Amino acid sequence: MSPLRWIYGKPCHLPVELEHKTYWAVKLLYFDLKVAGEKRKFQLQDLEELWLDAYENAHTYKERKKRWHDKHILRKEFHVGELVLLFHSRLRLFPGKLKSRWSGPLRVTKVYPYGIILIWNEKRGNFKMNGQRLKHYLADERLEKQTNIALLDLT
């Protein structure tokens, strides 16, 4: 018979008999307690070996994934006076899915350590930006010298 307890002001029965069922089952089936204890100990050791193997596998997987990720990172170096483009990550607020997410060109005025870049814009002036949000602006001299070509009506 399980003892009656009070939890949160209500009576309840705690399942004390569940703790002793394993001993009763061993006693009922005439198992040797010493052999059953050793068997349980070996099962726990096997389980611990499986845990250690899973931990090692997860560790090697993370190391390989990190090596692959680090190998594919493109290192960008910016110098003073270069032209760059700025990436707008919050452009989804504006309509037009074909609208470019890059704005610029902006001029680099100072390069700080750890990827911080001071850039200059006509509207905002100088402001600091993370170098990962910038990319080099590759302007061609041919684009700066614009030429107008008149299309003739061939009909």
Q: Where are the domains of the chain?
A: 4-71, 83-140
User: How far is the C-alpha of 102 from the C-alpha of 70, rounded, in Å?
Assistant: 25
pLDDT at 64: 95
For 61-73, write each residue's pLDDT tens digit. 999 999 999 898 8
* Nearest alpha carbon to residue 33 among 45, 18, 23: 23
Question: Which CATH number is 83-140's, of 3.30.390.10, 3.40.50.150, 2.30.30.140, 2.40.30.10?
Answer: 2.30.30.140
Average pLDDT, the chain: 76
* Tokens at 129, concatenated: 């930006």
